[in-house]
Amino acid sequence: MAEPLGRHPGWPARLGPLRVPAGVVEVRGPRLWDGSAWSQIRRRDQRHLENWEPSVPGTWADRNAGLAWPGQWSALRALARRGMALPFVITVDGRLAGQITVGNVIRGSLCSAWVGYWVASHAVGGGVATAAVALVVDHCFASAGLHRIEATVRPENAASLRVLAKLGFREEGLFRRYLDVAGDWRDHLVFALTTEDIPNGLVAGLIARGSATSP
């Protein structure tokens, strides 16, 4: 299921495969040559994605151009090598279909991180995000040695809320004006899982319910 670990626990890794209605889902580390596919999806899916992502300077086209990818790739790898993040891309049938990142990794007595993800519009509703989050959370609780994973979602983001509900994330509260998204400070619901919540893992639960199979 996973490649040999690098300098820090849990990264790099290759997770899956899991078969869902949309196809065969795998999760792997980002590569420099992902830039063209990443840019094509991101620029095409501006209306699908921009209302849920943090506000940053520059135009959407500039931030998601092919030339923007090498800098993002390098920054993600640097964070991973310092043990601060676990960055991945999501593929469906071998083609890039999104990203999933575990960030703000804190060790010691907390052993916590957050997970964030996006999936291309053509893959929404086919179980892709659910499978990717399940693979990554199981990996975080096993190989990466974390104890708690959080996810924050705008209350209006029905698709992302469905993903977390399917996986059994526990709603823990509302963060008022938590994050600058789409040009304003937005409320976010906070969800979490700890290792005690899923002793058998999320992937095993998806397979048991018939939502996914292992090819």
Question: Is the preceding omega at residue 12 within 30 degrees of 0, hence cis?
Answer: yes
The answer to whether residues 113 and 146 touch, using CB atoms and an 8 Å cutoff, is: yes
CA distance 114 to 190: 10
User: What amino acid is encoded at 190 in this protein?
Assistant: V
Phi first, then psi: give them for residue 150, nearest 5 degrees. Answer: -110, 155
- Per-residue model confidence (pLDDT) at position 2: 42
pLDDT 10s digits, 10-54:
989 999 999 999 999 999 999 999 999 999 999 999 999 999 999
What does the pLDDT look like over 60-84, one tens digit per residue? 999 999 999 999 999 999 999 999 9
How much is the pLDDT for 1?
A: 44
The one-letter code for the residue type at 172 is E
Span 88-145, pLDDT tens digits? 999 999 999 999 999 999 999 999 999 999 999 998 989 999 999 999 999 999 999 9
**Which residues, 6+ apart, have CB-to-CB distance to 48 below 8 Å?**
120, 121, 124
Q: What is the mean pLDDT of the chain?
A: 94
Does the N-terminal peptide bond of residue 199 adopt cis geometry, omega within 30 degrees of 0? no
Q: Which of 181, 160, 180 is nearest to 171 (CA)?
A: 160
**Residue 80 has what pLDDT?**
95
What pLDDT score was predicted for residue 9? Answer: 87
